[in-house]
């Protein structure tokens, strides 16, 4: 069974470094631009002063039908990995292959404008996701319907509650019909009934795509995921199809960390 599944995302030995100091970040940045201008190699595989590996030799394979949850403490590299897969950040080492269309929900409200109506925002945000006008026209009824905004769809976004905005944001992202859907804490807001609707929707669309989501809400993992991975200090430390076990591992690890901090 496993072999027949279609591979959508393959992350091979990927590393990503960042600079933890603002001044040095500027110095390295300008040096890099100078190197690009004269055409020399950037040598991204070595650490320079004040740099650290946010991700180190990470491997990951995600197949169609996967509902993968990535757990990890703050700063473990979850969002960085998602941005690499989405193609927002360039990789420093290794290779990422993405087959199909990626839609990512990082901050659910980003790219939305308060003076413009929900409908206008669908067109703007849809464009950001790479949809053409025809594709948006095809999907707009579904998006309006799913977001349950009713008459509010033609009111300025500024009049929406934060739950309504995130409903719209979610509906647009799912409306793009991606092969790879990345959700980074995107379901943090919205009322209980809408969350349930999202979960059901995610379950049903996951058969035709893959969903990678990041959350700190353990309950959500239990309901949704069919695969779980734990990231710690830029490395995967746990992987399982058994969600319960994975959660236990994560809770143990978190507990260990907090007790360590408590003792010291």
Partner 1 sequence: MKSNVYTSKSFQEKNLIGNLKELYFDIKHYRHLLYSLVKLSITQQYKKSLLGYTWIIISPLLSVVIWVILQVSGLFNPGDTQVPYLAFVLLSNSIWAFFISFYKGISDSLTAKGGEIIQNNFPKIIIVVERIIISFFDFIIPLVLSIIVLIFFGVKFTWSSFLFLPALIPLIIIGISFGLIFSVIKVIAVDFNLIFNNFMEVLKYLTPVVYSTAVASDLILNIIKWNPLTYLIEFPRNLLLGGGFEYWNIYLWISLGSLILLMLAIRFYYLATPWVIEKMTL
Separation between Cα atoms, residue 213 and residue 81, nearest integer Å: 11
Q: Which of residues 203-262 bind partner 1 (CB under 8 A)?
A: none
199 near partner 1, rule: CB under 8 A: no
- Indicate which single residue of 51, 179, 185, 239 sits in contact with partner 1 (rule: CB under 8 A): 179
Query: What is the DSSP pairing of strand 51-63 with strand 7-19?
Result: antiparallel
Q: In this chain, which stretch among 33-41, 70-78, 159-167, 246-254 interacts with partner 1, using CB under 8 A?
A: 33-41
The dihedral sign for the CA sequence 174, 10, 250, 19: negative
- Indicate which single residue of 93, 139, 167, 227 sits in contact with partner 1 (rule: CB under 8 A): 93
- Indicate which single residue of 42, 59, 251, 257 sits in contact with partner 1 (rule: CB under 8 A): 42
Separation between Cα atoms, residue 264 and residue 247, nearest integer Å: 26
Judged by beta carbon, residue 102 or residue 243, the one nearer partner 1 is 102
63 near partner 1, rule: CB under 8 A: no
Greatest CA span in the chain, whole angstroms?
A: 60
115 near partner 1, rule: CB under 8 A: yes
Q: In this chain, which stretch among 132-140, 203-211, 216-224, 232-240 interacts with partner 1, using CB under 8 A?
A: 132-140
Query: Which residue bears the tokens 């309006």?
Result: 144
Neighbours of 261 (CB within 10 A): 8
44 near partner 1, rule: CB under 8 A: yes
- Helix (H, G, I), strand (E, B), or coil: what is residue 60? strand
User: Which of 223, 215, 181 minimizes the C-alpha distance to 65?
Assistant: 181
- Indicate which single residue of 22, 260, 263, 264 sits in contact with partner 1 (rule: CB under 8 A): 22
User: Which of 125, 159, 161 minimizes the C-alpha distance to 143?
Assistant: 125
126 near partner 1, rule: CB under 8 A: yes
Length of the chain: 264
244: tokens are 């319960």
* Total number of residues that touch partner 1 (CB under 8 A): 52
Binding region for partner 1 (CB under 8 A): 18, 22, 25-26, 29-30, 32-33, 36-37, 42, 44-45, 83-84, 86-102, 104, 106-107, 110-111, 113, 115-116, 123-124, 126-133, 136, 179
């Amino acid at each position: 069974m496993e072999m027949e599944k279609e591979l959508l995302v393959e992350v091979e030995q990927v590393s990503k470094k960042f600079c933890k100091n603002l001044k040095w970040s500027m110095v390295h940045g300008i040096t890099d631009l100078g190197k690009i201008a004269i055409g020399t190699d950037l040598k991204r595989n070595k650490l320079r002063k004040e740099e650290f590996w946010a991700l180190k030799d990470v491997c990951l394979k995600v197949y169609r039908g996967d509902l993968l949850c990535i757990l990890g403490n703050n700063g473990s590299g979850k969002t960085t990995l998602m941005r690499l897969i989405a193609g927002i950040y360039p990789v420093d080492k290794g290779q990422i292959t993405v087959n199909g269309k990626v839609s990512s929900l990082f901050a659910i409200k980003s790219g939305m404008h308060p003076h413009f109506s929900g409908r206008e925002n669908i067109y703007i945000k849809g464009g950001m996701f790479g949809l053409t006008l025809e594709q948006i026209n095809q999907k707009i009824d579904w998006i309006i319907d799913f977001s349950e905004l009713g008459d509010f769809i033609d009111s300025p976004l500024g009049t929406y509650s934060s739950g309504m905005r995130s409903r719209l944001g979610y509906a647009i992202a799912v409306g793009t019909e991606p092969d790879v859907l990345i959700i980074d804490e995107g379901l943090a807001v919205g009322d209980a009934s809408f969350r349930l609707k999202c979960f059901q929707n995610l379950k049903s669309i996951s058969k035709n795509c893959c969903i990678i989501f990041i959350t700190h809400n353990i309950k959500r993992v239990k309901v949704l995921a069919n695969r779980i991975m734990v990231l710690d200090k830029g490395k995967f430390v746990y992987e399982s199809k058994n969600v319960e076990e994975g959660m236990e591992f994560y809770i143990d690890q978190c507990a260990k960390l907090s007790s360590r901090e408590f003792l010291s």
